[in-house]
Amino acid sequence: MSTLTTWLRDPNPSSRRQAKLGQAYLGWLRLRRNPLAMAGLVIIGLLLVVAAFAPWLAPHDPIAQNLQNRLMPPGTAGHVLGTDDFGRDILSRILYGARITLAVIALVAVTAPVLGLIIGTVAGYFGGWVDAVLMRVTDIFLAFPRLILALALVAVLGPGIENAVLAIALTAWPPYARVARAETLTVRNADYIAAIRLQGASAPRIIWGHVVPMCLPSVIIRVTLDMAGVILIAAGLGFLGLGAQPPLSEWGLMISAGRKYLFEQWWVATMPGLAIFIVSLGFNLLGDGLRDVLDPRSSGK
């Protein structure tokens, strides 16, 4: 292990692979020194474990109804977090709901940032009328609150988890385009870009091979920090009946079903609300830690 550590910390790497791995290792050491970031990483890790092993962790069937056990308080008859108005185990539904939350996060994370990254780098690299057109389109999307725009898109597309993910992705890309454009403007006139251009490299090759990698750290930070907002929008759509549909155990849908029992059977809506709070907090803590690691302006911390 000491030999591997020495190889990773070598100030004079002998290959590009060694340099990248060494940089990643040093970044991990900086991240590990941040206790709040590690707490966020643990929360997200637990989310992944819960989503992967929900069938084995859930003590009951999440959609099986038992009206004789409806609205039972936590800790009663083997129901750790109680039951809802149909007698379904709340803990089991929260565990299975983690799968839906993770699926929404993953689908949005591989669509919206990619679209925003492409639009932002193209606008920043070419400038002129290309930049003006793409940024005005971006401004139009930014002019609307994300939740309101997502509600309008889902109303047109129809309720459902797939349409909710599509609506969230279509409303989430503008900030990434802005970040990518700002990063591109700082590097497009750099000497190494000019040298690559003089060698005959095409614009798509320069953008994809040399501009996009420079934008990735800022985009990754933004993605991590935005995931809490994505979870809240997905839960909001589910709460309004425009996202996941019954009998799926989506957290926002669970809160919507339990809101009428909030004052007497508080656990029905409170437990999924706590799940949303904890997962959102985890992404925010990890995002702050990644910003300290990946942002060059924070490297001296």
- 134 near 122, Cβ under 8 Å? yes
Q: Tens of pLDDT along 90-114?
A: 999 999 999 999 999 999 988 999 9
pLDDT value of position 30: 84
pLDDT value of position 155: 86
Percentage of the chain beyond pLDDT 90 is: 40
- 279 near 43, Cβ under 8 Å? yes
pLDDT value of position 295: 66
- pLDDT (average), residues 165-176: 91
Residue 64 has pLDDT above 80, yes or no: yes
Q: Tens of pLDDT along 135-150?
A: 999 999 888 888 888 8
Evaluated on CA atoms 86, 92, 94, 96, the torsion sign reads negative
pLDDT value of position 300: 44
- pLDDT (average), residues 256-262: 89
pTM assigned to the model: 0.86
pLDDT value of position 187: 87
pLDDT value of position 127: 86
Print the SS3 string covering 276-292. Answer: HHHHHHHHHHHHHHHHH
Instruction: Give kind and range of the element (H or E) at residue 23.
Output: helix 16-32
Query: Which one has a higher pLDDT value, 237 or 21?
Result: 237
Residue 213 has pLDDT above 70, yes or no: yes
> Residue ranges of the alpha helices (H) in 75-160?
90-109, 112-126, 128-142, 146-157
List, in order of start, the domains of the chain with CATH numbers: 83-298 (1.10.3720.10)
Average pLDDT for the chain: 87
For residue 8, how far is the Cα from the chain centroid? 30
SS3 177: helix
Q: Compute the half-sphere exposure of residue 213: CA atoms within 13 Å on the CB side of its CA.
A: 7
∠ CA 288-292-294, rounded to 5°: 110
Query: Which residues 6+ apart lie within 8 Å of 35 measured at CB?
Result: none
One-letter amino acid of 270: T
- pLDDT (average), residues 26-54: 90
Query: Which residues 6+ apart lie within 8 Å of 45 measured at CB?
Result: none
pLDDT band at 299 (very low <50, low <70, confident <90, very high): very low
Residue 301 has pLDDT above 60, yes or no: no
Nearest to 184 by CA among 206, 169, 199, 200: 206
pLDDT band at 50 (very low <50, low <70, confident <90, very high): very high
